[in-house]
Amino acid sequence: MIRVVLDTNVYLSGIIFGGKPKTILTLTRRSQLKNYTSPKILLELSQKLQQKFLWSTQDIQNALKAISMSSTLVKPTISLSVVHEDPTDNKILECAETAKADFVITGDKHLLNLKKWKSTEIVTPSEFIVRFLSL
């Protein structure tokens, strides 16, 4: 099974706007992808839903519960300093390395510019869908 780490922006886009990020969330929910996340990713998602989209605590808890049910939580023990332009993006790579992910799926240009981290490919939701459908 394909192992993925979703960036916070993919969760937000899938939950709020739909489109290809929502398709990816659906694939994880249907266990067609093995999704990995970390406490730092979930914390950032929670903060964005509250601050940017004014979600209630209950709605945030429901969203995090749904994500947790279709994800494996990893607790990275490594601390990377790869993305210098936005150091907060390093948590995505830390999760990917710990999970031995095949793909990081993101809309973040700092991560996308890397193209690859060790054996993990870094792609947009659109690129991932095209690749997934061709498997």
Q: What is the pLDDT of residues 4-58, one digit of tens each?
A: 999 999 999 999 999 999 999 999 999 999 999 999 999 999 999 999 999 999 9
Is the pTM above the cut of 0.85? yes
CA distance 45 to 125: 17
Q: For residue 16, which of 47, 70, 53, 46 has the smallest C-alpha distance?
A: 53
Exposed/middle/buried for 37, CB within 10 Å: 0-12, 13-18, 19+? Answer: buried
Written as six digits, the tokens of 52 are 């940017």
**Domain ranges (residues) in the chain:** 3-133
CATH 3.30.870.10 fits 3-133, yes or no: no
Percent of the chain clearing pLDDT 70 (strictly above): 97
Report how far apart, in Å, the C-alpha atoms of 12 and of each of 44, 47, 63, 119, 131 are: 10, 11, 10, 26, 22
